[in-house]
Amino acid sequence: MSTFIPSAKSIERRWHVIDAAGRSLGRVASLAAKVLQGKHKPIYTPYIDCGDHVIVVNAAQAVLTGQKEEQKLYRYHSGYEGGLREERAKDLRQRRPSRLMEEAIQGMLPKTTMGKQMYRKLNVYERADHPHVAQKPQSLEVE
């Protein structure tokens, strides 16, 4: 008996909605990363992108536990000498709240070309409304 290996064409992609209001940022991000990779499916294959699309709503209301709001730093570099910039989570939440969720989820995905492909299936919105109603997304609960 041979082992079943799915092909890229045979994978059925679904849409899922995760409500982040009042939930821990890390728990929402880990669930989203798992679904984007396809690890929730029985046909999961590490070298094939078999994940689903994920919509995260109410990203601005996700909670950071402990002192992370004041102490967590997000760093990025302009590419020029001395171009390292740092920003606290509190300031980033005021400026662009959805970026906190995007950074957390992207950090949990593989750092490969396939990881970038998985990241493209992520949609993060600050509020409860989203333009993907036509895709009939299913709701996912965060534990």
State residue 57's pLDDT score. 98
Question: Which segments within the chain are labelled E, that is strand?
Answer: 15-19, 53-57, 73-77, 84-88, 122-124, 138-140
Query: Cα 138 to the chain's mean position, in Å?
Result: 16
State residue 8's pLDDT score. 85
pTM, full prediction: 0.93
The amino acid occupying position 43 is I
State residue 28's pLDDT score. 98
pLDDT along the chain (143 residues), means of 10: 86 96 97 97 93 97 96 96 97 96 97 97 97 96 89
Ordered alpha helix ranges (H), the chain:
25-37, 68-71, 89-95, 98-108, 113-119
State residue 5's pLDDT score. 87
Q: Could you give the CA distance from residue 95 to residue 135 in angstroms, rounded to a whole number?
A: 30
Lookup: tokens for 136: 């009939």
Q: Are 45 and 6 in contact (CB under 8 A)?
A: yes
For the domain with range 15-140, which CATH number is right: 3.40.50.170, 3.90.1180.10, 3.40.50.150, 3.40.50.20?
3.90.1180.10
State residue 4's pLDDT score. 85
State residue 35's pLDDT score. 98
Could you tell me the residue ranges of all domains in the chain? 15-140
